[in-house]
Amino acid sequence: MNKEHPNVSILKKFNPANPNSVAEVLAKDFVWHYINPELSELEGDYLGLSGLTDFFQKIGGYTSGSFKVHPLSATPMGDKIIITHVKDTMILKGNQMEIDAIVVWCIMGGQIKEAWDIPVIHTAKMIKTIKEKL
């Protein structure tokens, strides 16, 4: 019987709709790195729980609250790194979209120290155009 990696258990507490859900395992010096040349206004480093909350509020604003993360897999790489594959869905600039993303997590001593959120922009798929009401 395979046991779940303890760092995967820590990540299961993370809910992007409620970043405070992970506050107990988030290191004080946590850094969220967001890399996306298609949304350069959001790119950068977000520090601590307040930075993480700020990032998700900003992306929620850009997507009119439609941004959702759908986890697909989590793969431990040694004792400190977890690589997750997710599918993000959202309405952006009037288009309903989905895009694959990779998030690389560094977890040390039971705390999330750092994460790199990397949307794979070449996988972006427009589902449909949403017409705005006049």
Q: Which domains does the chain have, with CATH numbers?
A: 6-129 (3.10.450.50)
Reported pTM: 0.86
pLDDT of residue 60: 92
- pLDDT (tens digit, 9 = 90+) per residue, 18-49? 777 788 889 999 999 999 888 889 999 999 99
133 has a pLDDT exceeding 50: no
pLDDT of residue 134: 39
1 vs 12: CA distance, rounded Å: 20
- Torsion angles phi and psi, residue 64, rounded to 5: 50, 35
Q: What is the average pLDDT score of the chain?
A: 88
38 vs 46: CA distance, rounded Å: 18
CA gyration radius, the chain: 15
pLDDT of residue 30: 96
pLDDT of residue 13: 83
C-alpha distances in Å from residue 104, one per residue of 97, 107, 112, 119, 126:
22, 10, 11, 11, 25
pLDDT of residue 49: 92
- pLDDT (tens digit, 9 = 90+) per residue, 79-122? 999 999 999 999 888 888 999 999 999 999 999 999 999 998 77
pLDDT of residue 12: 86
C-alpha distances in Å from residue 100, one per residue of 41, 59, 97, 107, 110:
20, 16, 10, 22, 27
